[in-house]
Chain A
Amino acid sequence: MKKYSLLPFLFLFSPLVLFSQFRVSGTVTDETDGLTIIGANILVKGSNAGTTTDLDGRYELDAPGPDAVLVFTYIGFRTVEIPVDNRTRIDVVMQVEASLLDEIVVVGYGVEKRSNISGSVSIINSDEFSETPILRTEQALQGRTAGVQVAHNSGSPGSALTVRIRGVGTINNSDPLYIVDGIPVEGIDFLNPNDIESINVLKDAASSAIYGSRGANGVVLITTKGGKLNQEGMIEYNGYYGMQSPWKMINLLSAREYAIIQNEAFIAAGKTPRPEFANPDALGEGTNWLDAIFEPAPTMSHQLTLTGGSERSAYGVSANYFEQDGIVGGAKSGFERATVRFNTNHQLKKWLTVGNTLGFTWLKRQFLPENNEFTTPLVRALNMDPVTPIRKADGTYAYSLYADTDIVNPLNAIEQTHDTWRSNRLVGSVFAEIRIMEGLSVRSTYSLDATYATQNTFYPLYDLSNIPELSDAPGGEKTETNSVAIGNNTWRNWQWENVLIYKKQFGLSHDFTFTAGTTALENRHDYSGGANTNLPSNDPEDAYISNTIDPIESQSSYQGASESSLFSYFGRVNYGFANKYIVSATFRADGSSRFGRNNRVGYFPSFSAAWLISEEDFWNIPMINFLKLRGSWGRNGNDRIGNYSYSTLVYSGQNYTFGPTETITNGSVSLVSANPDLKWETSTQTDFGLDLELLEGQIGLIADYYVKQTTDMLYAAPIPLVAGTDPPIRNIGSVENKGWEFAVFFRNRKSALKYDLGGNISFVQNRVTSLGQGGDPIPSGRVQSANAFAAKTEVGHPMGSFFGYVTDGIFQSQQEVEAHAFQNEGTAAGDIRFMDLNGDNVIDVEDQTYIGNPIPDFTYGLTANVEFKGFDLGVFLQGSEGNDIYNSTVRYDFTYVNRPVSVLNRWTGPGTSDFEPRANLNDPNQNARISDRFVEDGTYLRVKNVQLGYNFPKALTQRARLSKFRIYVSAQNLLTYTNYSGLDPEIGTIGGTLEMGIDRGFYPQARTLLGGISLGF
């Protein structure tokens, strides 16, 4: 009856509804401080029509009718829907959203409400790091999320960081897969962190299995900023400027102390000390080379961001310039980056949305040698004798009469280094999304990632000789000729992706989402380069290959290319029942050109389930507003196995000599047998987790336990020698990582004193479980001072564990030497006693054992952010516990170089020392052999960032027509607590996955003090 009575009424008024605009206006305010909110979104429900609040928090909107419903949204606040109900003025007080459970999170090929995720996903929103000046995106991950271990590979500006998600997954490439706006990218140094909206880390296999053969080491999904529909145009400027300096200096021997030690070492070796060292006191302090190579270095950034949106279109435009010099070498290790980004989306038709992302990056990085024992400024400064002055009387650099080959004047070496990498990279995509019907849409995306990069190197002519005619300088301090080298690289990667999503609710309680898609992608790397010597000009500006006086034949050149392709099908089914039970299954089939013919396609399934206990009717603990149990299992792969590892090449150069004049004649054979079975490395992971929130989201806890098994790990395990070939790379090894992760937070945003405290901690246990049949341990970490490998990867042990001798104090007398197992012909009192572990009375290789583990027992991060009356204070601490470092910065293989100050406590007679051996030029006991003497505890706690900011009150800023005006000061690496004796305890992985925690003259991280400003118009 009612229906009928309403019908004519509606009919009558419908023209009015359609054609009359019902104007509504009002103010939006924040419940905590009563201040107006700028930029809040107001949308008419069921349409695109909407607006945002202005600088005074006011809005005005033409609603389609007096019975329309308005939706008010603002980040960090609970979304409210208010029926107009014939009102023309609606003021809204928005309540702070304490819980983030309703947040929409990007997952693989889709989005998901945070509360509904059944896998293990870490979410980092830009507000967590946007107030902290960072250079590289990886820094935003460090210490901010459980299960992700990040370490700097170097403190030099622009250097890559090591990122390990849930342990070190393989002895090969263990880097995660990075997906930026849906585009898989190799390396993320091109990204400007200011452009990032969010970073989501897919940690468990169930979350990452939809990336199939690329997901084994975890997936990092990065979304860049764009505009939003119905958003008033916003202009933002952010800029900062700061100075960097070393946070730690190491004491070195003075010239006097150096001479005393040298004299003693000469005498111990039966040689006459140098006459010029007869009176050490006369030599005084000498040169402090470490002081000499460090310098204060500036850093700065300017960022301009424009965002806005109309009813149907939204855009985000940004430009950034960033510059950082190094604390060693200044601009010689400097980094510059300019980025431009342009993201848009347009609702062209009701059923069609199109859009694009586009980022362009220009970057320039200058290199000094890093983390090796031969050519780094750090090793040279630590080992150069203090007697040598920096400069001669005439102002030119001096050379040392004592230091050996590699150890040259570090300042001259820095000055003579010209090594520059320039890259232009374009990463962009276009997409079209078609809404076929309610709940069903298809999105097709084409993306391109193109990089053009050049490396220019120039080796100038120089000679530090005192008398140039005599050319008295040693080989390392002069060059015979100058030379130039260039390397060109082009990477072109494209991807075409089609994804279909169907969302449907059956009845009231059955939620169903179906995702399916295909991906095709192709990567190509082209490289070429050349070199030449003898340039008439010694100016690096003139360093071109063609600028040579040598004949053209003296040029060398090379060219090559490498390609790979991938074609995949993938799908996912999500099913939720009554918001209480969620199950999800994914599947992916990957066909890859990298896999051998017999295994060209891999299949990767996963399952996960969650139970939202707090949604159950029987739940009656009101304090716990949210409790979810999760469990998942999945399998995925690591396809970073090289592009052609399955094939075998015929090698020439297997020569023999024939003929009367002994002519070298080419022979060719393949030295490795092909492996058509070669495939991805498989990772299988089981995860159990719990998400908990108390007090309406004021306290939260996320806990996870996982076991991750990597099998089919690629390794060229030795094969029986009857094969007659080198072992092929085969899928034979396995590694296990298991661990616990916890993250907690306490937040209060509802009072004048707002705070947000967070902490996370990750425990990982790594163990190699197989290296195949006959899987010999893999040595790694060659240490020059001992001319031996310091680490070993063996079944039953963590990867890259330190392996060597165990010291047992110092022989105090010759009787002690004789009473102990035989060590060396020349072993004498004052030498190190090594333990005779196998009791055979001889110290030899059989007495080596595991002496350290570079993998931390746990890593953690702590954040505290407090806001009060416009002031904000942020503190971020990060630490690592229980990891060992092998300190290999001292060149014990050289005789006349400097030594660490610990040598001052050397053994000089019975009872004088039980740790530091006697000084002896020849080291007949091999005191410098790989031993626990050089293994140090690398545990540290670092105050990564402390920041104090002030937001000028709106009353003031609005007068200047500013929406935001903030100034801040910040200190990075302000304090570091560690017992490590080297320059920096944060040591990454240089030169391969198994080269962990070995300090070979690490470029230390800087302490940075900076000030910045943020303006919004």
Chain B
Amino acid sequence: MKAKMIPLFLLTVLFTFGSCTKDFLEKSPPIGVTEENFYKTEADAIAAVNAAYAALQFELSPGGHFRWFWGDIMSDDSEKGGSGDNDVNELLQLETFQGPANTDLLEAEWGANFQGIYRANVVLEKVPAIEMNGNLKARILAEAKFIRAWFFYNLVTVFGGVPLVDHTLAASEYNMPRASATEVWDLIETDLTEAARDLPLRSEYEPIDIGRITKGAAQALLVKTYLWRQNWVAAQQTAEEIINSGEYVLAADYATIFTLEGENGPESVFEIQYMNASGGNWGKNNANEGTFTNVFQRARGQFEGYGFNIPTQDLVDEFFDGGEEDPRLEATVFREGEPMGDRGVFTKEATGQPFDYYPKKNFNNKSEEAPFGDPNPNGGTNDRVIRYADVLLMHAEAAWHNGAEEAARGSLNEVRLRVGVPVINASGDALLQAIYRERRLELSMEGHRFFDLVRTGRAVAELGPLGFQQGIHEVFPIPESQIQATNGALTQNNGY
């Protein structure tokens, strides 16, 4: 071989691959769909928004963060319960307002809501580019907006201002600081307004879509938002749109609302769907279809529950305040000697615990449990988040503030008449107090009380004896772990 052939040889050897190296090094996973290859079809769009719905079901992943932890246990309606003070002791600390900022419970609440926001943001970013039926696309985007608003609503009411994550975050944005509560409320209001505009009425959905977010749900959450923002006019107006839509009526029998047959009933406005499904492994992998509320709220001992969320004597007494027992009490709490469905008679011996009352609205019968002997105690009870009765009472409250006492009394008494208690004819502050009291009787143990007290400025009066301090305990502490994880980009709430 001649020396002058060397360069030629070298070139051949070294650059044989030069031209095709790029392709040669491109290997995509043969199994599974990468994000780049997804979000192409209508089915992909539906699957994307369904994944956002799935986040509504998160209760134990990451960590326990039930809605009733905050709405009920933190209020004067119920106390922690469990097997003793050490059973989820952090909950006891929080409900006595000595709450540490480093509890897993708040971290779970924080994380789960942002997981839901991420999933809604994915829909809002990916679905617009998909070629598909325009109406369906608009609906899916509106569903995602509601879902995003719902998670921000949870965050702003529990924590106050939070990072305004209105898009999927790049790694460089993880240390996003907190926005003000006003900015968060603005986003919620915008999302809900747009969602209400594009969502179908409940009656416009096919039966197969029962459980999807409706125009009424978006409007109802918007009413709540307006109440928090004391925009009474918009609140009353939006509530009246729901009332006038003719989509909802109060269920004839109050007690049936909380039974399996009562799910997605005539007064159901926003209900998180659960089913008695196997698997889910304690809510891990975020792939659980059942609720753990059932087992957590059932009495211990032979009732095979964990005995949390124990109604207080103060709550029970409220039902007797008018002299006679309000008929709604029987649907709200179990009292000693009463049968607990098909699980036996409630005695303290049978529960092994000293509590006088147990919550009833999320009780499930043994016969309703999954037949497959799943060791994970999934329950099937839907979470009635917004009922029509709530809408009516919100309407009453807003109307009162607008000076429309007649309208206020009308809605209030519609709720009272359903259970056959005397109508209220009061006016002025007595009427407002009657509306407040009605909310407690009608909606107790459904996760509203603490937030109602804070929203209406009554928290210090009612919860002060439990340790509530004005200007501090309206919101909970930002999880300490998240302040550390963001190198202090997140700031702690006042007083913590």
Taking Cβ atoms with an 8 Å cutoff, the residues of A that contact B are 351, 434, 436-437, 440, 442, 444, 498, 500, 516, 518, 520, 522, 560-567, 569, 591-593, 600, 643-644, 647-650, 652-660, 662-671, 673-674, 718-725, 728, 730, 773-774
CB distance from B217 to the nearest CB of A (A): 14
Provide the residues of chain B in CB contact with A563, threshold 8 Å: 27, 30
Partner of B26, one of A593, A653, A773: A593
Instruction: Decide if B30 touches A721 in the complex (CB within 8 Å).
Output: no
Provide the residues of chain B in CB contact with A516, threshold 8 Å: 14
Instruction: Decide if B50 touches A656 in the complex (CB within 8 Å).
Output: yes
Instruction: Decide if A643 touches B117 in the complex (CB within 8 Å).
Output: no
List CB contacts (< 8 Å) of B161-210 with chain A: 162-163, 165, 168-169, 171, 174-176, 207-210
Q: A660-B264, A667-B52, A720-B175 are in contact. List 15 more A-B contacts (CB 8 A).
A: A436-B9, A562-B30, A592-B25, A644-B27, A650-B38, A664-B277, A667-B47, A667-B49, A667-B53, A668-B48, A719-B174, A721-B62, A721-B107, A721-B111, A721-B114
List CB contacts (< 8 Å) of B1-49 with chain A: 1, 3, 5-6, 9-10, 13-14, 16-17, 21, 24-35, 38, 44, 47-49
Instruction: Decide if A653 touches B287 in the complex (CB within 8 Å).
Output: yes
25 A–B contact pairs at CB < 8 A? A436-B1, A436-B3, A560-B31, A562-B29, A564-B27, A569-B14, A592-B25, A593-B25, A593-B26, A643-B29, A648-B35, A649-B29, A654-B119, A654-B286, A659-B208, A660-B207, A663-B208, A664-B289, A667-B53, A668-B48, A670-B35, A670-B38, A674-B35, A720-B486, A723-B114
B335-373 contact mask (Cβ, 8 Å, vs A): 1 or 0 = 000000000000000000000000000000000000000
Provide the residues of chain B in CB contact with A566, threshold 8 Å: 25
Instruction: Decide if B29 touches A721 in the complex (CB within 8 Å).
Output: no
Instruction: Decide if B53 touches A719 in the complex (CB within 8 Å).
Output: no
Nearest-neighbor residue (CB-CB) of A644 within chain B: B29
Contacts A442-B9, A498-B14, A654-B51 known; A668 to B44 CB distance under 8 Å? yes
Q: Which residue, of A657, A670, A725, has the highest number of chain B Cβ atoms within 10 A? A: A657
CB distance from A669 to the nearest CB of B (A): 4
A604 and B277 CA atoms in complex are apart in Å by 54
Provide the residues of chain A in CB contact with B13, threshold 8 Å: 442, 444, 498, 500, 518
Instruction: Decide if A718 touches B485 in the complex (CB within 8 Å).
Output: yes
A647 and B162 CA atoms in complex are apart in Å by 30
Provide the residues of chain B in CB contact with A649, threshold 8 Å: 29, 32-35
B212 on interface, CB distance cutoff 8 Å: yes
The A-B contact count (CB < 8 A) is 200
CB distance from A378 to the nearest CB of B (A): 29
Provide the residues of chain B in CB contact with A724, threshold 8 Å: 114-119, 121, 165, 168-169
B274 on interface, CB distance cutoff 8 Å: yes
Provide the residues of chain B in CB contact with A662, threshold 8 Å: 273, 275, 380
Instruction: Decide if B209 touches A719 in the complex (CB within 8 Å).
Output: no
Instruction: Decide if A774 touches B484 in the complex (CB within 8 Å).
Output: yes
List CB contacts (< 8 Å) of B224-240 with chain A: none
A653 and B175 CA atoms in complex are apart in Å by 30
Q: Which residue, of A442, A648, A662, has the highest number of chain B Cβ atoms within 10 A? A: A662
Instruction: Decide if B17 touches A567 in the complex (CB within 8 Å).
Output: yes
Provide the residues of chain B in CB contact with A644, threshold 8 Å: 27-29
Nearest-neighbor residue (CB-CB) of B274 within chain A: A657
Instruction: Decide if A666 touches B35 in the complex (CB within 8 Å).
Output: no
A898 and B292 CA atoms in complex are apart in Å by 38
A667 and B277 CA atoms in complex are apart in Å by 16
CB distance from B293 to the nearest CB of A (A): 15
A566 and B17 CA atoms in complex are apart in Å by 11
B122 on interface, CB distance cutoff 8 Å: yes
CB distance from B51 to the nearest CB of A (A): 3
Instruction: Decide if A650 touches B34 in the complex (CB within 8 Å).
Output: yes
Instruction: Decide if B117 touches A658 in the complex (CB within 8 Å).
Output: no
Tally of chain B residues near chain A (CB < 8 A)? 78
A123 and B35 CA atoms in complex are apart in Å by 48
B57 on interface, CB distance cutoff 8 Å: yes
Provide the residues of chain B in CB contact with A567, threshold 8 Å: 17, 21, 24-25
Taking Cβ atoms with an 8 Å cutoff, the residues of B that contact A are 1, 3, 5-6, 9-10, 13-14, 16-17, 21, 24-35, 38, 44, 47-54, 56-57, 62, 107, 110-111, 114-119, 121-122, 162-163, 165, 168-169, 171, 174-176, 207-212, 264, 273-275, 277, 285-287, 289, 380, 479, 482, 484-487
Contacts A647-B29, A656-B57 known; A669 to B51 CB distance under 8 Å? yes
Provide the residues of chain A in CB contact with B274, threshold 8 Å: 657
Instruction: Decide if A669 touches B122 in the complex (CB within 8 Å).
Output: yes
A668 and B55 CA atoms in complex are apart in Å by 12
CB distance from A433 to the nearest CB of B (A): 12
A634 and B165 CA atoms in complex are apart in Å by 43
Partner of B50, one of A444, A562, A564, A665: A665
Instruction: Decide if A434 touches B1 in the complex (CB within 8 Å).
Output: yes
Provide the residues of chain A in CB contact with B114, threshold 8 Å: 721-724
Provide the residues of chain B in CB contact with A520, threshold 8 Å: 17, 24
Partner of B485, one of A659, A670, A719: A719
Contacts A518-B13, A649-B34, A667-B53 known; A774 to B485 CB distance under 8 Å? yes
Partner of A659, one of B6, B29, B168, B207: B207
A516 and B14 CA atoms in complex are apart in Å by 9
A668 and B37 CA atoms in complex are apart in Å by 13
Nearest-neighbor residue (CB-CB) of A669 within chain B: B51
Provide the residues of chain B in CB contact with A592, threshold 8 Å: 25
A670 and B17 CA atoms in complex are apart in Å by 35
A172 and B68 CA atoms in complex are apart in Å by 42
Provide the residues of chain B in CB contact with A656, threshold 8 Å: 50, 53-54, 56-57, 211, 273, 289
A650 and B29 CA atoms in complex are apart in Å by 12
7 closest residue pairs by CB, A with B? A724-B118, A667-B50, A667-B51, A721-B111, A669-B51, A654-B51, A656-B53
A562 and B28 CA atoms in complex are apart in Å by 9
Provide the residues of chain B in CB contact with A643, threshold 8 Å: 27, 29
A730 and B47 CA atoms in complex are apart in Å by 28
Instruction: Decide if A721 touches B482 in the complex (CB within 8 Å).
Output: yes
Q: Which residue, of A566, A649, A650, A666, has the highest number of chain B Cβ atoms within 10 A? A: A650
Partner of B275, one of A437, A657, A719, A728: A657
A649 and B277 CA atoms in complex are apart in Å by 26
Provide the residues of chain A in CB contact with B212, threshold 8 Å: 658
Instruction: Decide if A720 touches B174 in the complex (CB within 8 Å).
Output: yes
Provide the residues of chain B in CB contact with A593, threshold 8 Å: 24-27
A561 and B31 CA atoms in complex are apart in Å by 7
Nearest-neighbor residue (CB-CB) of B487 within chain A: A773
A724 and B51 CA atoms in complex are apart in Å by 13
Partner of B51, one of A561, A569, A668, A728: A668
A564 and B27 CA atoms in complex are apart in Å by 7
Provide the residues of chain B in CB contact with A669, threshold 8 Å: 48, 51-52, 119, 122
A434 and B174 CA atoms in complex are apart in Å by 57
Nearest-neighbor residue (CB-CB) of A526 within chain B: B30
Nearest-neighbor residue (CB-CB) of A656 within chain B: B53
Instruction: Decide if A648 touches B34 in the complex (CB within 8 Å).
Output: yes
Instruction: Decide if A654 touches B54 in the complex (CB within 8 Å).
Output: yes
Provide the residues of chain A in CB contact with B208, threshold 8 Å: 658-660, 663
Q: Which residue, of A442, A560, A655, A718, has the highest number of chain B Cβ atoms within 10 A? A: A655
Instruction: Decide if B1 touches A351 in the complex (CB within 8 Å).
Output: yes
Provide the residues of chain A in CB contact with B162, threshold 8 Å: 722
Provide the residues of chain B in CB contact with A442, threshold 8 Å: 9, 13
A657 and B210 CA atoms in complex are apart in Å by 9
Instruction: Decide if B277 touches A722 in the complex (CB within 8 Å).
Output: no
Provide the residues of chain A in CB contact with B14, threshold 8 Å: 498, 516, 518, 569
A444 and B171 CA atoms in complex are apart in Å by 45
Nearest-neighbor residue (CB-CB) of B175 within chain A: A720
A565 and B25 CA atoms in complex are apart in Å by 6
Provide the residues of chain B in CB contact with A667, threshold 8 Å: 47-54
Partner of A655, one of B21, B50, B380, B482: B50
A205 and B27 CA atoms in complex are apart in Å by 29
A442 and B5 CA atoms in complex are apart in Å by 12
CB distance from B127 to the nearest CB of A (A): 12
